[in-house]
Amino acid sequence: MSFPLLTATAALPAIGAIATAAVPAARRTAAKWLALLFSLATLVLAIVVLVRFDPDGDRYQLTESHAWIADFGVRYELGVDGIAVALIALTALLIPFIVLAGWHDADPSPSSQLRSSRGGPKETGSELSSIAEGRWRPTQGFFALILAVEAMVILSFEATDVFLFYIFFEAMLIPLYFLIGGFGDRAHEHGEEKAATQRSYAAVKFLLYNLAGGLIMLAAVIGLYVVAGNFSLTEIAEARASGELTMATSTERWLFLGFFFAFAVKAPLWPLHTWLPNAMQESTAPVAVLITAVVDKVGTFAMLRFCLQLFPEASKWATPVVLVLAVVSIIYGALLAVGQRDIKRLIAYASISHFGFIIMGIFAMTSQGQSGATLYMVNHGISTAVLMLIAGFLISRRGSRLIADYGGVQKVAPVLAGTFLIGGLATLSLPGLAPFVSEFLVLVGTFTRYPVIGIIATFGIVLAALYTLVLYQRTMTGPVKPEVAAMPDLKVREIAVVAPLVVLLVFLGVYPKPVTDVVNPAVKQTMSDVEKKDPRPEVEAAK
């Protein structure tokens, strides 16, 4: 193609971020509409990418390659396979809903408006100190940072140059740090001063964990260059497949561990997960969705693209340990979700459990497992977005994240309660909703090669039903608490946010073929990279 479609898909939200940030301080509404417009335009380009992509064609399509840092073999190389296309579409789909859901999340707080009316500092004054104190909430900055994250995530999915991928893999931490620390959740039981301290703690913890993983990966990236002489994923993989490039066993394993550690932090995988509950708890609901439904998918995607393709023998060597860690994540995350008092922390631990399923499917080394894991990435993004955004609408009405502060909501806000139930049922993988298909494929794919691991992981489903139904029962059923008696139901804007996602949950739950048709050829090629074939069934089919 003469038109750089992949570059345009990533550049458009980046341009939108700059344009949104440049909107005058007094024009907050204009900034919101501009951000929404750019996110919708990016969705249109993502749909064009999806339409132009041929699942039965070359492995990497719509490719772009330009010299960048020639002395070090770094090129601006982009290309997408079926897995990348599905995740780009997911990212571009969710961002407009994130923008719309966070429409008022960065508006000035009542305290800042009161100060302005008394002649105190206005929105354009003392920005840095006001952000640190949690009082000033610059609307332009909030939406600009969301678009910046979108641009970096899409480029991470598109990059086929390892160094280029690394740059955006790390760069996305900067806007996320400010989204967590500067635009935290206003619902806090300990007051604004304590809330600002906890937001700062969550943001710093997020940054340190991911920077540590990134620094280890940087050493592995440099080591890969020393061994291979370039950073091109396609050239290195082809050279390895043809025998032109060989790695010592110990070298390959060390390089694999360097890459995998960074991806496991981002995913997140137990025991590297502890930053996620804090980050999601202290973020606004749209930012929490951005983290777990969009950004964390970069980690699991990179395991498929880089770990398995660049280091196939080391991937097979590490499989038993990774599967054990994945099962621990499934059970541990689900058990901690059962005991949570905070709604957002419960959803965070549920996501840790779900990422365990995704990683288990990847390293089961079966086509069903990897196809299910890829489908799980898409379906988890949609289901978590529904549940977390509805939880955010609920929390904004009551002003509390504590489960004990709710009760009887379904009697005063039935639409809110109904959509919350659908999101919860999708989280526990109810048949007929999208996550069921992906979770079933992951378990089947794992059981055929590792039956003990598959059986243990099944207990995560039982625990998911427990924490989801208990959450719904304690918040939505029972007597109406006085504090929620006047709670309004979902507004038009809020219904516009969740209704399309609910429809998509049902559609992909009964007809996942549009996604599987795109990802299955890429999964087959990944299986070929690691030289694995599906186990033959113990009982032969009747002839």
Per-residue pLDDT tens digits for 310-323? 888 898 899 999 99
My answer on whether omega of the bond before 271 falls inside 30° of 0, hence cis, is yes
CA distance 318 to 408: 49
- pLDDT attached to residue 189: 55
- pLDDT attached to residue 480: 83
- pLDDT attached to residue 39: 94
| Enclosing domain of residue 509 | 5-105+138-530
- pLDDT attached to residue 218: 93
Indicate the residue type of 246.
Answer: T
- 427 near 351, Cβ under 8 Å? no
For residue 75, what are the β-bridge partners? 67
Number of Cβ within 10 Å of residue 537's Cβ equals 8
Q: What percent of the chain is modeled with pLDDT above 90? A: 45
Given a cut of 90, whether residue 245 has pLDDT beyond it is no
Q: For residue 536, tell me if it sits in a domain.
A: no
Q: For residue 116, tell me if it sits in a domain.
A: no
Q: For residue 81, tell me if it sits in a domain.
A: yes
Q: What percent of the chain is modeled with pLDDT above 70? A: 90
Query: pLDDT tens, 412-455?
Result: 889 999 999 999 999 888 899 999 999 999 999 999 889 999 99
258 pLDDT tier (thresholds 50, 70, 90): very high
Q: For residue 243, tell me if it sits in a domain.
A: yes
Given a cut of 50, whether residue 147 has pLDDT beyond it is yes
Given a cut of 50, whether residue 116 has pLDDT beyond it is no
- 9 near 46, Cβ under 8 Å? yes
What is 6-32 written as a DSSP string?
HHHHHHHHHHHHHHHHTS-TT-HHHHH
- pLDDT attached to residue 537: 65
Query: pLDDT tens, 169-193?
Result: 999 999 999 888 888 766 555 556 6
Tell me the angle at which helices 191-228 and 162-171 cross, rounded to the nearest 10 degrees: 170
Q: For residue 44, tell me if it sits in a domain.
A: yes
Given a cut of 90, whether residue 38 has pLDDT beyond it is yes
Q: For residue 370, tell me if it sits in a domain.
A: yes
Tally the domains of the chain: 1
Enumerate the H helices of 125-190 as residue ranges. 127-132, 139-158, 162-171, 173-182
Query: pLDDT tens, 280-299?
Result: 888 888 999 999 999 989 99
- pLDDT attached to residue 112: 42
Taking alpha carbons only, the member of 144, 165, 306 closest to residue 236 is 306
Q: For residue 479, tell me if it sits in a domain.
A: yes
Query: pLDDT tens, 117-136?
Result: 333 334 333 333 344 333 44
Q: For residue 113, tell me if it sits in a domain.
A: no
- pLDDT attached to residue 401: 85
CA distance 464 to 330: 10
Number of Cβ within 10 Å of residue 248's Cβ equals 9
